[in-house]
Chains A and B, each alone.
Chain A
Amino acid sequence: MPGELCEKLLDAAEKRSRYAEVRFMELEGSGAAYRNGSFEGAAYSRSYGYSVRVLNNSLAMSFSNSEDFSDLSSALDIAVRRSMLPGKSQIATKSEGKKEWVVSGSKKVDNVSLEDKISMLKDNDSLMDSLGSRVRMNYLADRKVKQVFMNSEGSEIRGEFTRVSYFYFAGILESGEFEQSTGEFGSTGGYEYFDSLDLPRHISDDIRAIRNAMHAGRLSPGKMDVVIGPEISGIVAHESAGHPTEYDRIVGREGALAGESFLTGKKVPMKIGSEAVSVIDDPSMKGSYGFYVYDDEGIRSRKRYLYRKGYTDEFIHNRESAARQGVEPNGGGRSSSWNMEPLPRMSTTYIEPGDHTFEELLEGIKEGIYIKNFTEWNIDDIRFNEKYVGKEAYRISNGKIAEQVRRPVIETNTIKFYSAIDAVAREMEFFAGECGKGDPEQAVDVWMGGPHARLRGLYIQ
């Protein structure tokens, strides 16, 4: 049975190190795709293996997927030998004792037939076709994850969970003009998620919106009041609150790759926006695509305020970064697979809801713009200079939604964006994503979303 060598490997590792960890992870994934009216194919993967991390004069890790203990011993030898050389040598050694957790949902992934999955893909492809989308891709996936984490301080955390996800791409082509859209949805649990999602409504609304956008006029650039939808408040929270508060970025450990943070070298708490803004990252939100009870380093997950009432608050930590700051790890250590190092990562990131309705946000605007969601986006490597191109957007006139406009652009910086927010709505909506970081690059499942929010005097291009 794969994974049975954890204890033996830890015994060997802790005899040769000041601190040792062993992690076994098994990932079993299935997926199927439909493209432009044709079944594209299906895939299944099963991957498992061990990682061992040791601390002596420095930190070192070895990854092996052998079930032969002599191979694992050889991998351990390499890590121990390298850890005797100089390097950074801080890691939080906290133990959470012996714990187990399981999340599998009510409609378990093993109980949903491939036939039903393909039927769902085919129905959505047909729906897109009927709405005039010539370019179509639909992809449905599920994943089962089992993990054992043990360390030399007595932690033994056993976790099992399943996740389901759906991705689509739709494109409308008319006379050389093209509008495209993607949708990503996901949940930790089973296929019951799709029963409440109403995916056909999302797809229909989306395709009608991009078709209308193709015929919409452009906005004259200028400063104006803006209402952003949950998809934009979510991506902003993720990109310019979540990433810059990952502590490994702040201290430069990702400096050559995903970059540092605009908070690097700054005195904190630092004012980043108006009092109306608080941003939360919460891996304990049940059902979310980023949900987990214990992180991939065996630390209990919990809600964290990244920004609170306009100021920076808590940072996202794994064991290594927590030791660098001299605080307790806060459950942010995530790894996409057994062969990837855990890094400080987000889970579900969102602007904290306020007490307005959507209509109340609009009422306060004489002339402005409502940008519901986005297409192209990007941000610089310190997470300060960012751009979001509106996919579905409308002019606001005298507190009411007016005509649709095409591809308005928010191109601003983090401080200006959060400082312009003066009101936040009550209702929240979330979308799934894959967040990339590290080298080798590893994508982890996240949720982004939140409420509508109103910004005053933002420059729109």
Chain B
Amino acid sequence: MDVNENILKILRKKDLTEYVVATSVTDTDQIRFSADSKDLFNHWSETSAAIFISRGKKIFSTTISNVNKPEIEIEKALSILTTLPENSNYMGISNSKHSYDDLRKFKKIDANIDDMASTVLHSALDSGSDRAAGLVYNEFSTVYLDTQINEVEYSEGGLHVLVRSFVGEGTGQESTHLGFDSRRSTKNLEKMGSQATETARLGSKFSEGKPGKYDVLMSPYLVGNLMSYGSSLFSAYSVDAGMSCFDSKIGQKVASDMVNLIDDPRNFSGDAAVQVDEEATPTQRLTMIQDGVLKTYLHSTSTARKFGAETTGNAGIISPHPWQLNLLPGKEKFDDMLHEMKHGLFIKNAWYTRFQDYRNGIFSTVPRDGIFTVENGEITGSIRGIRISDSIPGILMHIEGISKEQMNVKWWQEIHSSFMPYVLARNLTISKSF
């Protein structure tokens, strides 16, 4: 790639086993709003290069700002590489030549984010919200990626609209996310604020929750949060490090029969769609759990060689990760799942998920933005002060319902962009503050 040429000229002369140069050129806009007006407009215009080099099992990574005059930083990186010990776990990057014939080109989404922020803010305020907060993002990056044998250019980004509404001490949150090829529209913005306000209104009259075992109907946001935090457990790196509850579980049942989980990076309706991984391997639709059985870990070339497997196109060269999880829809309607619930909770979102035991997947998370009691199929009230204090394997095994409906969810660092349905899990442990 021309953008990388000044870097590549140096690297080609340096007797390296492998190299990867990924230069991102970013053009992103954001508006933040709170209370009754806009807080700040932000614009990013940025170029930076992430460079990986290896000589045998010696590896080094560097990130630099000045891609046009990279000599000082590159020479520093090369001199450090020479002095490093070997990484015995490192098994190399992909040596397959790719043509990228099916690569799709995209442009930044054409959107007036100022108007969109106004629409969603007023939707919340006009529907009775005490105040609202949120943001609109229009993200776009072009990535120029070169390895010793491959070169590829692709785009990343999407449009995100988020609003959180406040009524008394009740809160509700809604969002919309558009990938480059999304068929969804932004017409629902006029309803987003009012939907968030309705959830907040329902939550404004609450009682203290009680600890115990509950059937929990989880919204796509909550499912997305748990899957986002649990996703690292599927990485071959975590397994190899001894930090995954899925260690030695390939081919074994790790979830209820109705669970089918895939990584879906080629779904361009989502804003986390990625066409190649960080070592230029084309990404793929990857089945991770099929009918409750663990099919694969997430691999780069290096971890795959160590595990005697094939790369799954999920590099991170050292630490593979999912791109865009998709918990496939089930057979039930959400309304039916709710109406068939005798006694339980309907929880819409959570945050601050933290693990006390990665090896067994034991964690707790703090529900927010809609925590409702359900009796005989009806929402009967709102509670607060509770946690889900359980484990990822425990929840996966106790899933007894998955909805037909699915949402593209994403929220801050708490939910990675993903496609999630409503999920019913039985007998989860709920704790509370005393």
Q: Which residues of A contact B (CB under 8 A)?
A: 2, 35-36, 38-49, 58-67, 71, 74-75, 78-79, 82-83, 85-88, 114-115, 118, 134-135, 137, 169, 171, 173, 176, 178-180, 251-257, 259-260, 339, 341, 375-381, 385-387, 389, 407, 409, 411-413, 416, 436, 439, 441, 459, 461
Contact = CB atoms under 8 A, between A and B. Distances in A.
B393 to A, nearest CB: 12
A339 B44 contact: yes
A253 B87 contact: no
Contact of B34 (A65, A252, A375): A252
A191 B137 CA distance: 40
B243 interface: yes
B41 interface: yes
Contact of A135 (B60, B76, B241, B362): B241
Contacts of A60: 40-43
Interface of B: 30, 32, 34-35, 37-48, 59-66, 73, 76-77, 80, 83-90, 114, 131-135, 162-164, 166, 173, 241-243, 318, 351-360, 362-366, 368, 384-385, 387, 412-413, 431-434
Given A87-B41, A376-B354, A251 B34 contact: yes
Given A379-B366, A436-B413, A39 B62 contact: no
Nearest to A379: B352
Contacts of B352: 378-381
A41 B59 contact: yes
A47 B65 contact: yes
B46 A64 contact: yes
B188 to A, nearest CB: 17
A87 B63 contact: no
B39 A87 contact: yes
Contacts of B39: 59, 87-88, 253
27 contacts: A39-B86, A41-B59, A45-B63, A47-B64, A58-B38, A59-B39, A61-B40, A61-B43, A65-B46, A65-B65, A74-B45, A83-B41, A85-B41, A88-B37, A88-B40, A135-B243, A171-B359, A178-B358, A252-B133, A254-B133, A255-B34, A377-B354, A378-B353, A379-B352, A381-B368, A385-B366, A461-B431
A42 B354 contact: no
A341 B354 contact: no
A132 to B, nearest CB: 13
Contact of A36 (B241, B358, B433): B241
Contacts of A253: 32, 34, 39, 133
Nearest to B196: A256
Contacts of B357: 178-180
A413 B60 contact: no
B368 A48 contact: no
A173 B359 contact: yes
Nearest to B130: A265
Contacts of A411: 387, 431-434
Given A43-B61, A407-B356, 20 more contacts: A2-B65, A38-B87, A39-B86, A42-B84, A44-B60, A44-B62, A60-B43, A64-B45, A78-B43, A85-B114, A115-B83, A376-B362, A376-B363, A376-B364, A379-B366, A385-B385, A386-B433, A411-B432, A413-B385, A461-B434
